[in-house]
Amino acid sequence: MISRDECREKAKELVSKMTIEEVASQLLHQSPAVKRLGIPEYNWWSEGLHGVARAGIATVFPQAIGMAAAFDDAFMTEEAGVIAEEARAKYNAARRHGDRDIYKGLTYWSPNINIFRDPRWGRGHETYGEDPFLTEKLGDGFIEGLQQKDEKGYLKIAACAKHFAVHSGPEALRHGFDVSPTEKDFKETYLPAFESAVKDKDVEAVMTAYNRVFGEPCCANNRLLNDILKKEWGFEGHVVSDCWAVKDMHGDHHYTKTPEESASLAVKRGCDLNCGCTFESLLMAMEQGLIKEEEIREACVHVYTTRFRLGMFDEECSFNNIPYSVVNCKEHHDLALKAAEKSLVLLKNDGLLPLDKTKIRSIAVIGPNAYSSKALFGNYNGESGRWCTNLDGIRNEAGDDIRVYYSLGCDIIEEQEDPLSRPGKYLSEAEEIASISDVTVLCLGLNADLEGEEGDTGNAFASGDKPDLLLTASQRKLCDRILSLGKKVIIVINSGSALDLSKYEGKANAMIQAWYSGEAGGEALANVLFGKVSPSGKLPLTFYYNDQPLPDFTDYHMMGRTYKFVQDTPWFPFGYGLSYCDTEYNNCSYEIKDGAVVVNAEIKNHSKLDATEIAEVYIRYEGDAFEKPHHHLEGFKSVDIPAGSSKNISIEVPFKRFSSFLKDGSKVLLDGEYTIFIGGSQPDEKSETLTGKKVSSFKLAISNGQFSGH
């Protein structure tokens, strides 16, 4: 098994044979060939957020935030394994045809493990939600799946944890914005997922963020890159800048004055690879005495160590044999279907769902996300060869005996769809089919044109962030018209973030949060609507009311944010989701052993449908502490329970998970009483009201680091 040290030695030897001009050229994301040494050109920029992205056909899984709703780190590993398999297959095929273009390499700039701290952030749907622990576990699972090894020890592909660090909008300000979080929030919220990715999963790359943190740009941040990432955590991979972020150092942050200063400072402080072109100034910077040749060479050794770890210079690497036929194959599509089913969150159900085919003769499917591929794909996506829209899925499952009507209803944002018509061109059509149908499925929400990254082509709000938590005006008008008919209505929300549809909750019979559900999203939705699958997803986000007070978007202090610190009762809480199945937690207990508290439960499925139950474990410190959370998630498990049967589960919570963060950012195990909760939701009043169930709880005490039950 080839080790990192062996790869580093090979990298040092190869880099030593390059001229300094050749070395500098290799620190750009589009690295040219060094023909005299037999080194082909290589583009470091590939994306795999929820499937191989921007490189043609690939299996498209639900957007990251949708997969977070499955609360299943083992499944994340399985999904990422498919992405890695298809990535290698596409790399092999591209090489055979001499194609070394962007998005066709083996260095994948995923996952995004930033914290979705504010519901307005446009890029939030690329993350795993608002909770540091959930983000950590899902990110670790994803990295593990991407970085599988063959018998020689080569990585299948290289993962990249991004964006380091303290990065979550506003998008419009990101190129010149300075974030100075409290030390408590810095250590408790913004760093844990990165620390685990480095220390527990040996992630191969870390991407810096655009913004400044504590006054220094992230791509030249001495505390982040040297004190924490390398010295404290022992990171040995390579660091890549976000795209054109080094240019921001002189262009927007005004931290440096010239490209030469920016390039040299970034490399000297630990940034090895430049997505962009500022590192073209390194040779000039060396002539100006701003950087030494050996510092440039050391950065090149870091990036070439990754290339050797990927087996790029070994034609006998077994991953070279992965055929193109695996791309978007049936087995991978079936996994995308399972992923979509696991991601759907049932927000409300008055008993209408699941639909009974024997009692329905007609269904109206209405809305801008009913027959839309954009509602499936989100952003940073590939193009599936077999995608299924919500309408397609419902039509296919309804069969020939149920008439399915369709109307666009409205444009997703424009109130006047046609310059020659009056606003609301499709409203009367939508009202007609709703009035003559037994049930209406109203498909609403957003797409990546309405929420996403700053500068994305076609983004309606330019910066990518949402102005509020409401549906667009065109969709609100459609809702008002359809719901006023008094017919049975199921609202399906495709979005990558929390919206407030509370105005319609009392008039709709059922509501489903479907996210951007991937290539099989429509089939998964139909399977849930008609009861072939019981919904099991839980919200990885707090769903706030639109008029609910939130801290200023630019305020990175966590007080008042997320389920841990929110003051007012939200519309739907983090960790919430309904099921068709009635599950019961029995014989709940805990034991203390081997440096952990092990929480046990028997979960009984009283229903005639198979259930997937997500058990959630929370901890609450009952004493006084600085800005302590209400409670915090520290364990979860997704469990399949056949109809009418039971499963025994155990969830291990290491002692360190009971620690609290003090004002100075130090992590301590406080003496006093703690409560442990286990159940199918948070231990909050809103979850209890919505589910009609209480979670089980236990008390334990800690004194001088010793755990004792009582």
Q: What is the CATH number of the domain that holds 422?
A: 3.40.50.1700
The CA-based angle 592-595-598, given to 5 degrees, is: 40
Residue type, 314: D
Q: Biggest alpha carbon distance in the chain?
A: 80
Domain co-membership, 348 together with 217: no
Residue 80 within a domain: no
Does residue 377 have a pLDDT over 80?
A: yes
Rounded to two decimals, the pTM is 0.98
Domain co-membership, 350 together with 302: no
Q: pLDDT value at position 87? A: 98
- Give per-residue burial for 492-526: e unless 16+ CB within 10 Å, then b: bbbbbbbbbbbebeeebbbbbbbbbbbbbbbbbbb
- Arithmetic mean of pLDDT, 192-221: 98
Q: pLDDT value at position 460? A: 60
- Arithmetic mean of pLDDT, 32-52: 98
DSSP-derived letter for residue 225 is: I
pLDDT in tens, 61-73: 999 999 999 999 9
In the chain, the percentage of residues whose pLDDT exceeds 70 is: 99
Token duo for residue 317: 């690497």
Average pLDDT, the chain: 97
Among all chains, which residue has been given the structure tokens 């085919």? 357
Residue 60 within a domain: no
Per mean pLDDT, which range of 254-268, 415-429, 456-470, 588-602 is the poorest? 456-470
Residue 571 within a domain: no
pLDDT in tens, 651-684: 999 999 999 999 999 999 999 999 999 999 999 9
DSSP-derived letter for residue 158 is: B
Residue 113 within a domain: no
Nearest to 678 by CA among 589, 595, 547, 596: 589
Q: Roughly how many angstroms between the first and final C-alpha of the chain, as a whole number?
A: 49
Distance CA 697, CA 473 (A): 44
Domain co-membership, 301 together with 365: no
Nearest to 693 by CA among 600, 606, 632: 606
The residue among 491, 515, 541 that closes a domain is: 541
Phi/psi for 25 (5° steps) reads -65, -25
Q: Dihedral, CA atoms, 365, 371, 376, 379, nearest 10 degrees?
A: -130
Q: pLDDT value at position 462? A: 60
Domain co-membership, 479 together with 345: yes
Q: Tell me if 405 sits within 8 A of 364, measured CB to CB.
A: yes
Position with higher pLDDT, 457 vs 561: 561
Distance CA 340, CA 88 (A): 24
Domain co-membership, 232 together with 360: no
- Collapse the DSSP code of 155 into the 3-class scheme (helix H, G, I; strand E, B; otherwise coil) and give the result: strand
pLDDT in tens, 147-158: 999 999 999 999
Domain co-membership, 491 together with 413: yes
Q: Is 500 a catalytic residue?
A: no
Distance CA 515, CA 500 (A): 14
Residue 400 within a domain: yes
Domain co-membership, 296 together with 400: no
Domain co-membership, 363 together with 510: yes
Beta-strand ranges (E) seen in 409-476 are 439-445
Domain co-membership, 446 together with 482: yes
Residue 549 within a domain: no
Domain co-membership, 268 together with 408: no
Among all chains, which residue has been given the structure tokens 């576990």? 137
pLDDT in tens, 338-350: 999 999 999 999 9
Burial degree of 110 (CB within 10 A; 0-12, 13-18, 19+): buried
Q: Tell me if 91 sits within 8 A of 55, measured CB to CB.
A: no
Q: Tell me if 213 sits within 8 A of 165, measured CB to CB.
A: yes
Q: Note down the domain range covering 679.
A: 583-709
Distance CA 5, CA 305 (A): 9
Q: pLDDT value at position 17? A: 98
Residue type, 435: S
> What residues have CB less than 8 Å from 568, skipping those under 6 apart?
545, 548, 549
Distance CA 603, CA 611 (A): 10
Does residue 457 have a pLDDT over 60?
A: no
The residue among 258, 275, 309 that closes a domain is: 309
Does residue 463 have a pLDDT over 80?
A: no
Q: pLDDT value at position 539? A: 98
> What residues have CB less than 8 Å from 381, skipping those under 6 apart?
49, 50, 51, 53, 54, 60, 63
Q: Tell me if 338 sits within 8 A of 379, measured CB to CB.
A: no
pLDDT in tens, 625-651: 999 999 999 999 999 999 999 999 999
Domain co-membership, 525 together with 590: no
Residue 121 within a domain: no
Phi/psi for 664 (5° steps) reads -85, 5
Q: Any bridge partners for residue 28, and if so which?
A: 274
Residue 569 within a domain: no
Q: Tell me if 585 sits within 8 A of 613, measured CB to CB.
A: no
Does residue 15 have a pLDDT over 80?
A: yes
pLDDT in tens, 401-450: 999 999 999 999 999 989 999 999 999 999 999 999 999 999 999 999 99
Q: What single string gives the DSSP state of each residue in 303-331?
A: HHHHHHHTTTT-TT-GGGG--GGGTT-HH
The residue among 474, 508, 541 that closes a domain is: 541
> What residues have CB less than 8 Å from 579, skipping those under 6 apart?
346, 534, 535, 536, 611, 613
In this prediction, residue 41 has a pLDDT band, given cuts at 50, 70 and 90, of very high
Distance CA 169, CA 163 (A): 11
pLDDT in tens, 71-90: 999 999 999 999 999 999 99
Distance CA 407, CA 417 (A): 13
- Which position among 118, 131, 242, 684 bears the catalytic label? 242
The CA-based angle 437-440-445, given to 5 degrees, is: 155
Does residue 696 have a pLDDT over 60?
A: yes
Residue type, 454: E
Among all chains, which residue has been given the structure tokens 């920029």? 45
Q: pLDDT value at position 710? A: 58
Token duo for residue 173: 């300000």
pLDDT in tens, 168-180: 999 999 999 999 9
- Domain total of the chain: 3
Q: What is the CATH number of the domain that holds 692?
A: 2.60.40.10
Does residue 614 have a pLDDT over 60?
A: yes
In this prediction, residue 459 has a pLDDT band, given cuts at 50, 70 and 90, of low
Domain co-membership, 521 together with 637: no
Token duo for residue 165: 């660090």
